Structure 1
């Protein structure tokens, strides 16, 4: 039996570090943009938003994102959920940005882009799925910006595709969107594992 996502901690370490605690309708958010200090920043930010007392679930961003930062958030979420006996769910940052895009635009499709470094982008295309979820129409991949042919409106880190003539909506992640998607998917009986989405091998595994 699943636990309602009523008292929820959301964690994202895909770029900087962002956390949110949602208790019923009360929302507290804290973030640190430094992309290289996830391990140092995550615990203080969790404390800043209210800690882990009386939670019933944790939602964590599963990427796609570079290896080092992403694993900090996922490992922390797994450890906390196991220690505290909490429900745990993973949500893609691409899904979250797509949902934010539909909230702004009202219709799709949208193509999400985020920074994959090495002059590449993570990207996927989506249609809306009701008012609180999205449906993948082109699966996530990591490619050169020059090779991306967007479907519909570009959303996310659109500055990385400055030469594109597609309509564009710049967006930054609102980490509370993870909770919104997790609630919708839980109600629909959709499983949400926390397997990280790297989309390419980490640097330490490259020859």
Structure 2
């Protein structure tokens, strides 16, 4: 099974072609990956990355069997680029599109290293906040995702039993959190597919794509115009 994996929940604009066998014991195999880093150019960089990954893998878009996309949490504009692209490609190619939590994909790869205690995954949410979720040493999420300040999150670490951190904001706030920082900083194509592997192999219909914005967008509809008195 050939799967296109996308994620734009972080400054990393990620696209990759991943092969998944029917054997549950076989990990996903990456055929090609394209990752660009620019938090302001998700829309410009994603499709060129998709096409370049497909070209390197020696497959056409029509050869794909499924698409997996990160659903965040992430900033509104960047996150929807990946999800809309995945949905549009799925519709055009008539293949299923599966959404996975982007933090889950980071956790799946991070726990490949030995983890003492639980794992905290956190990425930048802007506005001096972070998106975060907590996982056990098998990458099973037991809290989150949430959005809050790093200081408020640091106060939660003892109750969460955190022994290590991962994600793009982990290194930035390493001094405050006081825990070892593990790779990766962003979801990889293989990890995105690994999160969705069971449902991909089962052939089950995907759930509707639901973006994890966690807070309302900055843009709002304007209110009614105020009446101006003439005298």
Structure 1 residue aligned with 2:102, among 93, 100, 114? 93
Equivalents in 1 of 2:15, 2:133: separation in Å? Answer: 24
- Is this contact kept in 2: 1:11–1:77, CA < 8 A? yes
Which deviates the most, 53-62 or 19-28? Answer: 19-28
TM-score normalised per structure 2: 0.78
The 3-state SS of whatever aligns with 1:35 is coil
SS across alignment from 1:163: helix
TM-score, normalised to structure 1's length?
0.86
Structure 1 stretches lacking a partner, 5+ long: 1-5
Q: CA 1:175–1:22 in structure 2 vs 1: closer, same or farther (change >3 Å)?
A: closer
Contact 1:159 1:170 in 2 (8 A): no
Distance of aligned partners of 1:183 and 1:192 in 2 relative to their CA distance in 1, 3 Å threshold = farther
Aligned positions, number: 198
1:22 is aligned to 2:18: yes
Structure number with bigger Rg: 2
Structure 1 position 125, deviation (Å): 0.5
CA distance in 2, matches of 1:187, 1:21: 16
Q: 1:165 to 1:36 in 2, by over 3 A?
A: same
1:47 aligns with 2:56: no
Change (3 A) 1:168 1:22: closer
Is 1:158 aligned to residue 154 of structure 2?
Answer: no
Which aligned runs of 4 or more in structure 1 are off by greater than 6 angstroms?
A: none
Measure, in 2, the Cα distance between the counterparts of 1:105 and 1:22. 25
Question: When you count strand as a share of all residues, which structure comes out higher?
Answer: 1
Q: In the alignment, which residue of structure 2 is the partner of 1:144?
A: 149
Q: Is residue 62–residue 93 contact of structure 2 (8 Å, CA) maintained in 1?
A: no
> What do the CA deviations read for 1:37-84 (whole angstroms, capped 9, x no partner)?
111111111110115121010000100000001101101111111111
